[in-house]
């Protein structure tokens, strides 16, 4: 039997919760007073309840519903931690979905397709200005990455296995036909749709070219990732397989616009790994989609709206898993010339030991000079 009861006022001060909140938590069974006076109905708390009250306050601060808070409070130790982690994974997923929706709304609501305040410079035709760089790094003996930046195409491939270098190179080469204006010509009434179709067709060609090379590898371990952006003249077509990445720098913020087709990413989505656990996981490079034997290879494809000033980055995991996103963002936001930006990014990976081949391509969407 507890001897020292504290009043609701004293308990509120000790726990940082308001009396009103304490009465609510009592009614909902989240935090029930140790004793309620049978005569006057006054609530009394035991000093040992302060710890739980502080936990409740923190979980509320995190944005948890009272139902979730109650579940965490009643769960045994490790189970409680799992509840909090699952909550946070859900919250991050919801936040990512809301971010995409907000970007979409911004696009739709920007008057007359103009950027910034109405009355700014009119939006003229845009062109792509880009640069690419690939280096072996400090640990690997050869470079199995392939990267390309041209007048309308941007591509990166990260080859693996005995035939990794030719596989990556063949995948990028299979996209080269897209550099000609004719590639989009068949669907002249809708060059965006035509561009996306042409990019999909080229990914199918790339898959066949890689299969051909992989057949010569007795171990069956040869394959590649492939991520590409194609400028249609008004939009960007995106196709992606594997764990190379595409990012967009817009208004100073960096957004990853591809999903890693990795096993650890699926585990994070399922709430079974946290993002930091995934980043340190020994199987973090295991791909669930790639151009490789017995592996699903359907690309994610999408048409993206662009805005003047948008900057795109394609990179292999030799950059994204070595250099922190904030440092990548800083380089992209401050180094104006694409050629210097890719040089600086590769340098950063090099400074961190460059354990893998590192490749990147940067493209700016800039207004074309008036003729
Ligand atoms: Mn790699």
Distance in Å, CA 158 to ligand 1 centroid: 5
> In the chain, which residue ranges form alpha helices assigned H by DSSP?
8-15, 19-27, 50-61, 66-74, 77-109, 164-173, 182-185, 191-215, 263-269, 275-280, 317-320, 325-334, 338-351
Among residues 361, 6, 336, the alpha carbon closest in space to that of 150 is found at 361
* Ligand 1 geometric centre to CA of 356 (Å): 6
Give the Å distance between the CA of 96 and the centre of ligand 1.
Answer: 25
What is this structure's pTM? 0.68
Tell me how far the alpha carbon of residue 358 lies from the centroid of ligand 1, in angstroms: 7
Centroid of ligand 1 to alpha carbon of 223 (angstroms): 12
Ligand 1 geometric centre to CA of 341 (Å): 20
Ranges in the chain, pLDDT < 70: 1-3, 97, 100, 111-124, 181, 183-188, 369-371
Q: How close is the Cα of 77 to the center of ligand 1, in Å? A: 39
Q: Residue 238 forms beta bridges with which residues? A: 229, 302
Q: How far is the CA of 160 from the centre of ligand 1 (A)?
A: 8
Cα–ligand 1 centroid distance for 355 (angstroms): 9
Q: How far does residue 86's CA lie from ligand 1's centre (Å)?
A: 30
CA 178 – ligand 1 centroid, Å? 25
Of the candidates 177, 234, 180, which has an alpha carbon nearest to the alpha carbon of residue 204? 177
**Can you give the pLDDT at residue 114?**
39
Q: Compute the distance from residue 289 Cα to the ligand 1 centre, in Å.
A: 15
Query: In this predicted structure, what is the pLDDT of residue 185?
Result: 60
- Using the mean position of ligand 1's atoms as its centre, give its distance from the Cα of residue 318 in Å: 5
CA of residue 87 to ligand 1 center, whole Å = 32
The whole-angstrom separation of Cα 363 and Cα 132 is: 9
Query: Ligand 1: distance of its center to the CA of 264 in Å?
Result: 16
52 neighbors 64 (Cβ within 8 angstroms): no
Question: In angstroms, what is the span from residue 108 Cα to ligand 1's centroid?
Answer: 37
Spacing, Cα 167 to ligand 1 middle (Å): 13
Q: Which residues pair with 129 in a beta bridge?
A: 364
* Ligand 1 mean position, distance from CA 84 (Å): 33
Quote the ligand 1 centre to 277 CA distance (angstroms).
19
Question: Measured in Å, how far apart are the chain's first and last C-alpha atoms?
Answer: 89
Cβ atoms within 10 Å of 197's Cβ, excluding its own: 17
Distance in Å, CA 316 to ligand 1 centroid: 6
Cα dihedral value 77, 79, 84, 86, nearest 10: 160
Q: Which residues of 282-293 are buried (b: 16+ CB within 10 A; e: fewer)?
A: eebbebebbbbb
Measured distance CA(232)–CA(239) in Å, rounded: 13
18 Cα to the center of ligand 1, angstroms: 53
């Amino acid at each position: 039997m507890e001897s020292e009861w504290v009043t609701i006022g004293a308990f509120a001060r000790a726990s940082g919760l308001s009396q009103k909140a304490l009465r609510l938590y009592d009614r909902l069974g989240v935090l029930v007073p140790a004793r309620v006076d049978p005569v006057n109905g006054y609530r009394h708390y035991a000093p040992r309840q302060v710890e739980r009250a502080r936990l409740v306050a923190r979980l509320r601060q995190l944005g948890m519903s009272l139902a979730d808070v109650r579940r965490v409070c009643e769960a045994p130790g490790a189970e409680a931690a799992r509840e909090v982690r699952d909550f946070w994974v859900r919250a991050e997923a919801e936040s990512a979905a809301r971010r995409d929706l907000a970007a979409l709304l911004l696009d739709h609501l920007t008057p007359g397709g103009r950027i910034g305040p109405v009355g700014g410079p009119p939006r003229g035709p845009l062109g792509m200005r880009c640069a690419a760089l690939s280096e072996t790094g400090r640990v690997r003996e050869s470079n199995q990455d392939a990267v390309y930046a041209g007048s309308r195409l941007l591509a990166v491939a990260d080859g693996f296995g005995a035939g990794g270098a030719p596989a990556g190179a063949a995948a990028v080469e299979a996209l080269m036909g897209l550099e000609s204006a004719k590639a989009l010509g068949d669907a002249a009434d809708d060059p965006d749709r035509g561009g996306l179709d042409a990019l999909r067709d080229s990914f199918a060609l790339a898959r066949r070219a890689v299969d051909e090379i992989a057949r010569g590898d007795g171990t069956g371990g040869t394959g590649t990732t492939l991520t590409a952006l194609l400028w249609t003249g008004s939009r960007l077509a995106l196709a992606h397989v594997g764990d190379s990445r595409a990012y967009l720098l817009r208004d100073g913020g960096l957004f990853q616009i591809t999903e890693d087709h990795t096993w650890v990413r699926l585990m994070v989505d399922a709430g079974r790994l946290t993002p930091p656990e995934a980043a340190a996981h020994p199987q973090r490079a295991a791909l669930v989609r790639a151009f490789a034997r017995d592996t699903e290879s359907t690309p994610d494809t999408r048409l993206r709206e662009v805005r003047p000033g948008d900057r795109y980055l394609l990179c292999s995991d030799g950059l994204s898993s070595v250099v922190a996103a904030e440092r990548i963002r800083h380089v992209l936001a401050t180094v104006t010339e694409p050629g210097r930006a890719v040089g600086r990014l590769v340098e950063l990976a090099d400074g961190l030991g460059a354990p893998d081949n590192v490749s990147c391509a940067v493209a700016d969407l800039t207004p074309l000079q008036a003729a």
